[in-house]
Amino acid sequence: MKPDRNDPAARILEIVAAIPEGRVATYGRVAGLAGVPRGARRVGRVLAELPEGSDIPWHRVVNACGRISPRGDAPIEGFQRHLLLEEGVEFSDTDRIDLDRFGI
């Protein structure tokens, strides 16, 4: 098996894994870098399948608004925010991240 085949999911995970600490990337950006234009939703789906304790820094992925995407009923928003704050990522008064500074 080749390490990197045409499986979009594998490429997406590699891109996310490559996001440096203290930085964030948008779903759309990750999709683009992974060679899957307009595959933002796909990125979200792949990350949603990740098991807990995964080495993938999924918390560094936010939506195009620089905000933490709501998962529905999961109180994970606070957790993700905590992880980012610990890495030095700053949130504005409106809970938004300045993508010009912390984005890739």
Partner DNA sequence: ACTCTGACGGAAT
Partner DNA sequence: GATTCCGCCAGAG
The site for DNA (CB under 7 A) is made up of 8, 26-29, 38-45, 47-48, 50, 58-59, 61, 63-65, 69-72, 80, 94
Q: Which one, 3 or 72, has the nearer CB to DNA?
A: 72
Smaller CB distance to DNA: residue 20 or 65? 65
Instruction: Please identify, using beta-carbon distances, which residue of 65 and 85 lies nearer to DNA.
Output: 65
Nearest approach in angstroms of CB 1 to DNA is 18
User: Distance between CA atoms of 72 and 82, rounded to whole angstroms?
Assistant: 18
Residues 24/99, Cβ–Cβ less than 8 Å = yes
- Buried/exposed code over 32-46 (b: 16+ C-beta within 10 A; e: otherwise): bbbebeebbebbbeb
Backbone φ, ψ for residue 79 (5° rounding):
-65, -50
Residue 59 beta carbon to DNA: minimum distance, rounded to whole angstroms? 7
